[in-house]
Amino acid sequence: MRLAVVLCLLASAVSLSFGQAEAPVFVITPQDSSVKFFVKASVALEGNFEKWDSTLTFTSPELSTGVLEVKIQAASVNTGSGMKDGKLKSKDFFNVEKDPLITFKSTKIVQTSPDTFDVAGTFTIRGVSKPETLNLTLNREGPGSGEVKGTMAFDRKDYGMNSGIPFIKIADRVEVTVALKAKRVSGPPVHLTQ
Domain ranges of the chain: 24-186
pTM score? 0.84
CATH for the stretch 24-186 = 2.40.128.110
pLDDT of residue 44: 77
Q: What is d(CA 70, CA 123) in angstroms, rounded to the nearest whole number?
A: 9
pLDDT of residue 16: 45
Indicate the burial class of 107 (C-beta count within 10 angstroms; 0-12, 13-18, 19 or more): exposed
- The answer to whether 171 and 40 are in contact (CB under 8 A) is yes
Amino acid residing at 81: S
* pLDDT in 10s for each residue of the chain, 194 residues: 544 443 444 444 444 444 445 899 999 998 899 999 999 988 878 999 999 999 999 999 999 999 999 999 999 999 999 999 999 999 999 999 999 999 999 999 999 999 999 999 999 999 999 999 999 999 988 778 899 999 999 999 999 998 887 778 889 999 999 999 999 999 999 999 88
pLDDT of residue 59: 95
